[in-house]
Amino acid sequence: MTATFDNHQHTTDWTDADSAELDAWARTHTRSPLQRDPHLYQLLAPLRAENGCHNCHRPFRPAHTRKADYPDTVSKATGNLCMTCWKAQREGRQLTGRTMSARQAPPTHCVVCQTRMHARGAKNPNGVPHGGRGQCRPCYDRLRKLDPTP
């Protein structure tokens, strides 16, 4: 076999045995070298925590991965901020420095009429859609008619 490297010809004695050996070696390396290793991800968790969002201090997940694969993480935007904090900064809102524990669960009953509520898009015959401010849609609509400025 003759190979050309940098415009110089080199003669290499490449036999069928060498080819078979290379094929056997290639079969033992089945994973792509760019694939993320879950075990290594767990080992580097403390480093990720240090390199989390500079505002809310939540750890970043690797780029182009799903939230389901990396729970309790956020996607990185730019400037060492998560996407939520970056959008707030871009829109000129005050960055609150919130954490995951600061989020509240959505209310299940209307604070005005105590009717059971469900999310707006959910098809649930046992309740009314959520309107806003902890109220069901009918109560929230009545409030908006009385006070049109939210």
3-state secondary structure string across 10-37: EECCCCHHHHHHHHHHHHHCCCCCCCCC
User: Could you read off the pLDDT of 90-120 as tens digits, one per residue?
Assistant: 887 766 655 544 456 667 889 999 988 887 7
Residue 27 has pLDDT above 60, yes or no: yes
**How much is the CA Rg of the chain, to the nearest whole Å?**
28
Q: Which residue has the tokens 């829109």?
A: 91
In this predicted structure, what is the pLDDT of residue 100? 47
- Each domain of the chain, given as residue ranges in start order, spans 52-102, 104-150
CA distance 37 to 43: 10
Contact in structure between 64 and 55 (CB atoms under 8 Å) = no
Q: Which two tokens stand for residue 24?
A: 């056997």
User: Could you read off the pLDDT of 133-150 as tens digits, one per residue?
Assistant: 888 889 988 888 877 665
